[in-house]
Amino acid sequence: MDPTVGTAVDGHRGDGAPGAVRPDGASGLQVRDAVVRYGAGRRRPGFVAVDRVSLDVAPGEIVALLGPSGCGKSSLLRAVAGLEPLAAGRVLFDGEDVAGVPVHRRGFGLLFQDGQLFPHRDVAGNVGYGLEAARVPRPEREARVAALLEDVGLAGYGGRAVATLSGGERQRVALARALAPRPGLLLLDEPLSALDRRLRERLAVDVREALRASGTTAVFVTHDHDEAFTVADRVAVMDAGRILQVDAPDVLLRSPASPRVAEFLGRAPEHPPGGSRDGASRASLAVES
């Protein structure tokens, strides 16, 4: 429980947060004091979803944003993608401020929970979509689509209608589609949450391997510790719009920066009604790690 072991990033401290900001901050993703607000009007302050968050992701690194539903992690992700405007703060990529760069020119891939495949395109049409946007010549595009489909274990699925795919297959197609244009940064918003347990476990491993293999820098949003720990190099624990701690999974489990982090990771003694067995299992999980 030594706060100096974990690298807690307190939103209030802003830029100066030690450890969170890498010295070679010029490359990868840098989020500085980001604020996202909903429903703000001229008179109303609105609801603050993301509250002065700073976060760094090194090139090739996978960072998980872990937190309960409604903690602001998806909002942060959408802000990075450019889908939500920042009320304050900055998002930098490779040292350049991306404010004012529209979504489609940021070169950031995005993967939603339910895949959001284009229903009017077949599998190959989905995977090749980003390549068409980048005006990749057809032969090259077809070759790359085929290779990607093979990579996600769906070789030969190119002509299938997306309506005929299972949930797991859809997510694989969505992943291949997101990777196709070689995004500088891949943002994954609960990509596995809609799948059943066994599929999730398998796909979590697959996703990590796919990301590592392609050397893709990624931010992975999830509410599930196991998923976060499986996929990510570092995990940022988020709550109520703020990042509480960013660390490697083992460090996080060993030394939570605050009682709240510990609480979320299952260290706290109190549990929801009827959740005592969960508590036991979480305790055991903590001991094992």
Partner 1 sequence: MDGHRRRLRRRRSGGWGPRDEAPARSGAADSADNKFRLRRRRSGGWGSRDEAPARSGAADSADNKFRLRRGAAGPAATKPRLSVRPRWATWLGWGLAAGLPLVFLGLFFAWPVTAIVAQGVLPDDGAGGRTLDLSGFAEVLGDPRTWRIVGQTLGQATAGTLLAVVLGLPGAYVLYRCRFRGRTLVRGLVTVPFVLPSVVVGVAFRTLFAPGGPLGWAGLEESFAGIVLALVFFNYAVVVRTVGGLWERLDPRAEQAARALGATPWRAFRTVTLPALGPAIASAAAVVFLFCSTAFGVVLVLGGIRYGTIETEIWVRTTQFLDLRAAAVLSVLQLVVVVAALLLGARARTRRERALHLTSERAAAHRLRLRSRPDGSDLAPAVVTAFVVLGLLALPMAGLVARSFRAPDGSWGLDNYVALGTTGGRNALSVTVWEATGNSLRTAALAALIAVVVGALVALVVSRRPRSTGARRAVGTLDALFMLPLGVSAVTVGFGFLITLDRPLGLDLDLRTAGVLVPIAQAVVAIPLVVRTVLPVLRAIDPRLREVAATLGSAPGRVLRTVDAPMGARSLGLAVGFAFAVSLGEFGATSFLARPDTATLPVVIYRLIGRPGAENYGMALAASVVLAVLTATVMMVAERLRGDRPGGEF
Whether residue 216 contacts residue 249, with contact meaning beta carbons closer than 8 Å, is answered with no
Cβ burial of 78 (10 Å; 0-12, 13-18, 19+) is: buried
| Positions in 16-35 near partner 1 (CB under 8 A) | none
Q: Does 230 bind partner 1 (CB under 8 A)?
A: yes
Mark residue 59 as left, alpha or beta (left: phi above 0; alpha: psi -120 to 50; beta: remaining): beta
Which tokens go with 167?
Answer: 């949930």
Q: Does 269 bind partner 1 (CB under 8 A)?
A: no
Closest to partner 1 by CB, 16 vs 197, is 197
Q: Does 5 bind partner 1 (CB under 8 A)?
A: no
Q: Does 101 bind partner 1 (CB under 8 A)?
A: yes
Q: Does 271 bind partner 1 (CB under 8 A)?
A: yes
Q: Does 91 bind partner 1 (CB under 8 A)?
A: no
Q: Does 184 bind partner 1 (CB under 8 A)?
A: yes
Which of 96, 99, 77, 74 has the alpha carbon at shortest distance from 88?
A: 99
Cβ-based neighbours of 244, under 8 Å, separated by 6 or more: 8, 9, 237, 238, 257, 258, 260, 261
Q: Does 260 bind partner 1 (CB under 8 A)?
A: yes
Q: Does 220 bind partner 1 (CB under 8 A)?
A: no
Number of residues in contact with partner 1, rule: CB under 8 A?
Answer: 111
Closest to partner 1 by CB, 9 vs 37, is 37
Closest to partner 1 by CB, 16 vs 139, is 139
Token pair 């109520």 is found at 240
Instruction: Work out which of 100, 137, 139, 269 binds partner 1, going by CB under 8 A.
Output: 100
Q: Does 200 bind partner 1 (CB under 8 A)?
A: yes
Angle at 67 between CA 65 and CA 70, to 5 degrees: 110
Closest to partner 1 by CB, 16 vs 153, is 153
Instruction: Work out which of 35, 83, 199, 255 binds partner 1, going by CB under 8 A.
Output: 83
Q: Does 247 bind partner 1 (CB under 8 A)?
A: no
d(CA 107, CA 109): 6
